[in-house]
Structures are given as structure tokens and as C-alpha cells.
Structure 1
């Protein structure tokens, strides 16, 4: 009875393949993010209140997208290394909890930035 098998075994070759695939996907995503950030830098124009605020919000949204993708890649790598279904469930629960916390905080930050941008734009129109 000491030889207890769960029926959940992933061959090492599959784990290696998944690791390499994740590394390639992460590199492609990082390259995409670099190109996107460079493109955003090239199109930023004048410094009026609305444009500045919009650029800040866009940068923040891009930062959040990058954080979420990095978190997803990290989660996927942990899943590949999971030993059993219970560990997968625990990893998923932890990932979802952290993502929901992050989304709530990020939504508040974007909302605050949008409100400040609108107030600054309204103030600039009055002046």
C-alpha cells in the first residue's frame, strides 16, 4: 500500500516542453510590450491637461496589462509543476484571489486618474 499513485503524472519531457513554450511566449510578449511602449512614446504629443491625463491612464493600463500577463505566465508555470489536482485547485484559488485584489485596486487607481484628468481639463477650459 506504500506505492500510492494518483494517476496524475506529467512526463518530464512534457514539463520541459511546457517550460520552453512558456519562456518563448513570455519573450514574445515582452518584445510586444517593448514595441508597444516605444510606439506610445513616439505618439505622445503636446502637454495639455487632457492629453497628459490620457497618456498617464494609457501608460497605467499598459502597465497593468503587463502585470497581469506576467502573473498569468507565472501561474501557468506553477500549474505545469503541480503534483496533483489538489495543488492545481490551490494554485488556481490563490491566483484568482490575487487577481481580483489587483483588479479592484487598479480599477480604483484608473478611476481616480480619470476623475483628476477630467477636473484638470475642466479647470484648463475655465482658465
Structure 2
């Protein structure tokens, strides 16, 4: 029995449109994060709260959010270019594995950032 795989190829126009859409979404999210960071820094400067553990953790969480969004957009761009369902599934599997490890490390980092500094 010979089972053929369905075609996964997208027309070039659709692939180009998808790639441009991903880039536009990436640019929009980057702009939102940039504006959020600037607004937060402005408020912290005015209230002199930048060094409080919660504020340090908040600013670090923005950095981590930016890293996670970049990884997601990178995956999306790769998926748009995937030539087969098997390639797409492998990309997704690799992404889940690396993001799970990254999220574990990030959560540990944020928990430690919110802990008060212990002095001996």
C-alpha cells in the first residue's frame, strides 16, 4: 500500500504575503514593547522606584517577554518556509523543547529577582 503525503507547498505569493505579515506583526510587537519599556522607565525615574525588587523583576520580565516573542516569530517565519508537514512538525517540536527549558530558567530568574537581598 502506497500512501502519498499531501502537498504542503504554498504558492509563492501566499508565502511572500505570510512572511510580510509576520514581519509586520514582529515590528508592531517590538514597538509596543519599546513604548512600554520607555513608559515604565519614565514612571520609575519620577517615583525613584527603579531599584525595588518588584520593579527590577518587572523590567527583566519585559526583556524575557521580548526574547520569547522573538523565538515565536522566528518559529513562525520558519513554519511559513516549511516544505513538508514533517518539517513543520520538527520545527514545532524543537521550539517546544527549547522554549520549555527557557521558561524554566526564566521563572527561576524572576523568582530570585523578587527575593530580598540577604546580608550576612
TM-score range, shorter chain: 0.7 to 0.9
Q: Which residue in 1 is equivalent to 2:48? A: 46
Give the TM-score normalised by the residue count of structure 2: 0.87
Q: Which residue in 1 is equivalent to 2:31? A: 31
Consecutive unaligned residues of structure 2, counting only runs of 5 or more, are none
Answer yes or no: is 1:96 the counterpart of 2:62. Answer: no
Give the TM-score normalised by the residue count of structure 1: 0.82
Q: 1:30 to 1:47 in 2, by over 3 A?
A: closer
Answer yes or no: is 1:59 the counterpart of 2:59. Answer: yes
Q: What is the correspondence of 1:11-30 to structure 2 with a 5 Å cutoff?
A: 11-30=11-30
More helix as a share of residues: 1
User: After the TM superposition, which segments of 4 or more aligned residues of structure 1 sit over 6 Å from their partners?
Assistant: none
Tell me how many residue pairs correspond in the alignment: 114
Larger Rg: 1
Deviation at 1:5, TM superposition (A): 7.2
